[in-house]
């Protein structure tokens, strides 16, 4: 009797997770395994002639200067994440106080996150225009004669993208922090105040450690999401000028869907996977030092 009941329970469980497992299997696991196989072939999209090439793609990757360039660009791109989290925290703390138009301001900060990426791209392109753009207009009016070229030079373009990304992620980081700040118990803050802690100390020694699980969550999800992003860069610069904004995910995309070189693109995407894995591992290990549950 109990045995039967257990069996039925188990079966029911499988039935419930079935549809989603089917989705994961069909749309994720099988394609992933398939791309792992492609890594060892010279498969070009459409082309029926496929040869097994062993480790040739990996050898090519190791020697490919564009791979290292894109890796470096990816690292610069990722730098936007902690900056955005930091600013998001400050904004959240400020908006958590009793200030005027709090709700409106929260809405405004969150706007970028729900705006269409292409629209975002075009607005920033106009803002960043080296000659007629309002940003450089402002800089010139306050006496800077040679404002940066932003997107239009190979040295500054990746940082310009960073600025856009920080701005884009800010609203999301802020909202999550706002929720976390609600959880901070007022008793702790009051106790600290009675003990004579200054506002800066409260922020650093009490609030920041208490929201550290949130910071950790934002850091992991932010880094993973950022490393996989390519749409915004594709819309703004297509990886240029030169190859100065070609990040790894964009390089995968170009190889796959511009050159149809699926074998090499698969190799690159597995390299991307290894990078994500390493970053996540480092964070899991590192979290013990600074995340307090």
Partner 1 sequence: MSKKTWFAGMTSLVIASGVLTGCSGNGNAVNTGAEASPSASAPITSGETVKLKMWGGVPPESGPQAVVDAWNKENPNIQVEYVRYVNDDEGNLKLDTAMMTGQDVDLFVNYTLSHTNKRIDSGFALDLSGFTDYNIEEKMGSDSENWKINGKFYGVPTTKSSYFVALNKDALDAAGLEVPKEWTWNELREYAVKLKTGDGYGFLQHIEPYADPLDSVLSQEGYTKADGTSKLDQPLVKSWLETLNGMMATDKSTPPLGEQLTSKMPVEQEFLSGNVPMLNIGAWLLRSSNNFTDFPRDFKIAFAPVPRLTEAASDYVTRGGLGDYISINAKSKKQAAAWEFLKWYADGGMAPMASGGRVPASKDADQATALDNLLGDKADTYDLDSLKYVMFENETPTYVRSLPQEVIDMRTQEYENYFLGTQSLDETIAKMVSRHNEFLKLNK
Q: Residue 120 interacts with partner 1 (CB under 8 A)?
A: yes
Pick out residues in 136-155 that bind partner 1 (CB under 8 A).
Answer: 149-155
Count of other CB atoms within 10 angstroms of residue 245: 25
Q: Which long-range contacts (CB under 8 A, 24 or more apart) does 2-11 make?
A: none
- Region from 203-211, 212-220, 233-241, 275-283 binding partner 1, contact rule CB under 8 A: 233-241
Residues 92 and 179: their CA atoms lie apart, in Å, by 9
Is residue 237 a contact residue for partner 1 (CB under 8 A)? yes
Residue 52 β-bridge partners: 41
Regarding 82 and contact with partner 1 (CB under 8 A), the answer is no
Q: What is the C-alpha to C-alpha distance for residues 216 and 284, in angstroms, rounded to an integer?
A: 9
Q: What letter would DSSP give residue 39? A: T
- Binding residue (CB under 8 A) for partner 1 from 2, 4, 20, 49: 49
Q: Contact at 8 Å (CB) between 77 and 162?
A: yes
260 binds partner 1 (CB under 8 A): yes
Nearer to partner 1 (CB atom), residue 93 or residue 250: 250
**Is 240 near partner 1 (CB under 8 A)?**
yes
Shorter beta-carbon distance to partner 1: residue 70 or 214: 70
Q: Tell me the three state secondary structure of residue 41.
A: strand
Q: Among residues 175, 192, 231, 279, which is the contact residue for partner 1, using CB under 8 A?
A: 231
Q: For the beta carbon of residue 190, count every other beta carbon within 10 angstroms.
A: 10
Dihedrals phi, psi of 93, to nearest 5 degrees: -60, -45
User: Exactly one of 129, 203, 206, 276 binds partner 1 (CB under 8 A); which one?
Assistant: 129
Q: In the complex, what is the shortest distance from the CB of residue 168 to partner 1, in angstroms, rounded to a whole number?
A: 7
User: Residues binding partner 1: what is the number (CB under 8 A)?
Assistant: 58
Q: Which is nearer to partner 1, 204 or 258 (CB)?
A: 258
287 binds partner 1 (CB under 8 A): no
| Among the residue ranges 76-84, 203-211, 253-261, 280-288, the one whose residues contact partner 1 (CB under 8 A) | 253-261
**DSSP state string for 231-245:** HHHHHHTTT-STTTT
Question: Is residue 117 close enough to count as binding partner 1 by CB under 8 A?
Answer: yes
- Give the one residue of 17, 18, 25, 47 binding partner 1; rule: CB under 8 A: 47
Nearer to partner 1, 30 or 138 (CB): 30
Report the alpha-carbon distance of residue 1 to residue 7 in Å, rounded.
Answer: 10
Identify the residue among 29, 86, 111, 115 touching partner 1 (CB under 8 A): 115
Helices (H), the chain: 2-24, 30-38, 56-63, 65-78, 80-95, 102-110, 117-127, 134-141, 157-183, 186-194, 199-201, 208-210, 212-228, 231-236, 248-257, 262-290
Residues 7-36, interacting with partner 1 (CB under 8 A): 27, 30-31, 34-35
Alpha-carbon distance values, 285 to 223, 275, 277, 281, 289 (Å): 16, 16, 12, 6, 8
Closest approach, Cβ 243 to partner 1, in A, equals 5
Contacts with partner 1, residue ranges (CB under 8 A): 27, 30-31, 34-35, 38, 43-50, 60, 65, 113, 115-117, 120, 125-126, 128-131, 149-155, 157, 168, 225-226, 228-232, 236-237, 240-244, 253-254, 256-260, 262
């Amino acid at each position: 009797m109990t045995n039967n009941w257990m069996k039925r329970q188990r079966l029911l469980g499988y039935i419930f997770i079935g549809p989603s497992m089917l989705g994961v299997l069909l749309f994720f696991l099988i394609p992933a395994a398939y791309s792992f196989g492609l890594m060892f072939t010279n498969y070009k999209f459409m082309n029926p002639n496929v040869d097994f090439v062993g480790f040739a793609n990996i050898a090519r990757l190791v020697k490919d200067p564009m791979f290292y360039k894109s890796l470096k660009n990816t690292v610069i791109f990722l730098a936007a994440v902690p900056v955005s989290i930091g600013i998001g925290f400050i904004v959240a703390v400020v908006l958590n106080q009793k200030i005027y138009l709090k709700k409106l301001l929260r809405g405004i900060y969150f706007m970028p996150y729900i705006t269409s990426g292409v629209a975002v791209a075009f607005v920033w392109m106009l803002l960043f225009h080296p000659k007629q753009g309002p940003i450089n207009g402002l800089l010139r009016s306050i006496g800077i004669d040679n404002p940066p070229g932003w997107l239009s030079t190979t040295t500054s373009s990746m940082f310009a993208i960073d600025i856009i990304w920080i701005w884009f992620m800010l609203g999301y980081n802020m909202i999550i922090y706002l929720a976390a700040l609600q959880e901070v118990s007022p008793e702790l803050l009051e106790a600290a105040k009675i003990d004579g802690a200054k506002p800066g100390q409260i922020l650093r020694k009490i609030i920041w450690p208490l929201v550290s699980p949130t910071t950790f969550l934002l850091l992991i999800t932010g880094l993973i999401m950022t490393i996989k992003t390519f749409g915004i860069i594709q819309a703004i610069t297509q990886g240029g000028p030169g190859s100065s904004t070609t990040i790894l995910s964009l390089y995968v995309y170009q190889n796959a869907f511009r050159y149809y070189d699926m074998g090499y693109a698969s190799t690159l995407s597995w390299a991307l996977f290894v990078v994500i894995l390493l970053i996540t591992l480092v964070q899991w290990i590192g979290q013990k030092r600074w995340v307090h549950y």
